[in-house]
Amino acid sequence: MEKIINNTCKIYIDEGYRNFQKCLCEACNINTIEELNETYDAYFVICDYNTYNHQLHQIMKHLKGKYIYEYIINPGEDSKSLEDYEKIINYCKKVNLSRKSLVIALGGGVVGDLAGFVAATYMRGIDVVQMPTTLLAQVDSSIGGKTGINLGNSKNIIGAFHQPKITYINVDALKTLPEEEYISGMAEVIKYAFIDKNIFEENSEFIDFLLENHEEILDRKTSALLKIVETCAKIKADVVNKDEKEGGLRKILNLGHTFGHGIEKLCHLSHGKAVAIGMNMAFKLSLQKELIDKNYYNQFLDLCNKFHLPTTFIYDNEQEVFNIMKNDKKNSFNKMNLVLPIAKGKVQVFDNIEDEIILQIIKECQNA
pLDDT in tens, 26-45: 999 999 999 999 999 999 99
Q: b/e per residue, 91-123, with b = 16+ CB within 10 A?
A: ebeeeebeeebbbbbbbbbbbbbbbbbbbbbbe
Please check whether the two domains, 2-176 and 179-364, share a CATH topology: no
Indicate which residue of 80, 165, 234, 271 is catalytic.
271
Q: What confidence score (pLDDT) does residue 226 get?
A: 98
Indicate which residue of 10, 50, 80, 146 is catalytic.
146
Clarify whether 197 is annotated catalytic.
no
Clarify whether 254 is annotated catalytic.
yes
Clarify whether 162 is annotated catalytic.
no
Q: Which CATH class is domain 2-176?
A: alpha beta
Indicate which residue of 236, 251, 265, 330 is catalytic.
236
Q: What confidence score (pLDDT) does residue 197 get?
A: 86
Q: What confidence score (pLDDT) does residue 198 get?
A: 85
Indicate which residue of 155, 162, 165, 257 is catalytic.
257
Architecture field, domain 179-364: Up-down Bundle (1.20)
Boundaries of every domain in the chain = 2-176, 179-364
Clarify whether 261 is annotated catalytic.
yes
Clarify whether 124 is annotated catalytic.
yes
Q: What confidence score (pLDDT) does residue 23 get?
A: 97
Q: What confidence score (pLDDT) does residue 174 get?
A: 98
Q: What confidence score (pLDDT) does residue 238 get?
A: 96
Indicate which residue of 250, 265, 273, 330 is catalytic.
250
**For residue range 221-233, what is the model confidence (pLDDT) as tens digits?**
999 999 999 999 9
Clarify whether 246 is annotated catalytic.
yes
pTM for the predicted model, two decimal places? 0.94
Q: Which residues of the chain have pLDDT under 50?
A: none
